[in-house]
Each structure stands twice: as C-alpha cells, then as structure tokens.
C-alpha cells in the first residue's frame, strides 16, 4: 500500500459507485487523501503515522467481513500491513509551506 493520511474504506478504493472487495493476501496500491490540518515542526520535532482499522464511534464500524454496510453479522479482526521495501515503497507525502 502507498498511503497518505486520512480515511478510506478500501472496498471503495477504485470507485464509490462500484465497490470491490479485497482478496486476502493480495497487495493493493491506494492513496488516502489528507484531512486539512496544519502544524509547525521545529528542529528536533518528530512525526508519527498511526494506522488503524477503525475509528468508532467517530466513523461507522468496519466489520471487515465484506458484508453490506450496516448489516454485518460476522465481524472479523483486521490485519493491516504497510509495505516499505524497495518494490513497494509506501510513503507519507506532506506539503511544505515556507515561513515568510
């Protein structure tokens, strides 16, 4: 996966009109839009990227079962992996606004 920061239910990774379930074990390249935010990073500051399979109750529960949204009866735990090797170079892209 090539990830930015934001939110995306991956069944909608290619189209909001035609959802497509993922195949277990397959690797998908996706881009997740950054939520508008701003921060001033001073010398010595560090950045941390957190990946989560859910953010309930802020967003709907994702049962990870592939069942229609809102009617899942067989929830499963999610396994999230971000690959960062030479053939799958995931990255976080942040805009830099110069100080005037």
pLDDT for 7 equals 58
pLDDT score recorded for residue 96: 81
Domain that holds residue 33: 1-51+82-100
pLDDT for res 8? 67
Please tell me the predicted confidence (pLDDT) of residue 44: 94
For residue 10, being part of any structural domain is answered with: yes
Segment-wise mean pLDDT, segments of 10 residues, the chain, 100 residues: 53 85 83 77 85 74 80 83 86 80
Judge whether 1 and 92 are in contact, CB under 8 Å.
no
Quick check: is 86 in a domain? yes
Residues 33-40: contacts with CB within 8 Å, 24+ apart?
A: 33/4, 33/6, 33/8, 34/4, 34/5, 34/6, 34/94, 35/5, 35/6, 35/7
> Can you give the pLDDT at residue 22?
83
Whether residue 95 contacts residue 5, with contact meaning beta carbons closer than 8 Å, is answered with no
Residue carrying the six token digits 């735990």: 77
Q: Give how many domains the chain has, as a whole number.
A: 1
Whether residue 71 is contained in a domain is answered as no
- The SS3 of residue 10 is helix
């Amino acid at each position: 996966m090539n990830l930015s920061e934001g939110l995306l239910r991956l069944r909608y990774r290619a189209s909001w009109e035609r959802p497509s379930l993922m195949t277990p074990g397959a690797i998908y390249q996706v881009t997740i839009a950054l939520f508008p935010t701003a921060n001033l990073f001073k010398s010595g500051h560090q950045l941390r990227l957190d990946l989560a399979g859910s953010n309930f109750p802020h967003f709907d529960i994702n049962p990870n079962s592939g069942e229609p949204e809102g009617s899942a009866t067989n929830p499963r735990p999610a396994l999230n992996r971000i690959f960062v090797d030479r053939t799958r170079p995931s990255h976080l892209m942040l805009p830099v606004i110069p100080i005037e």
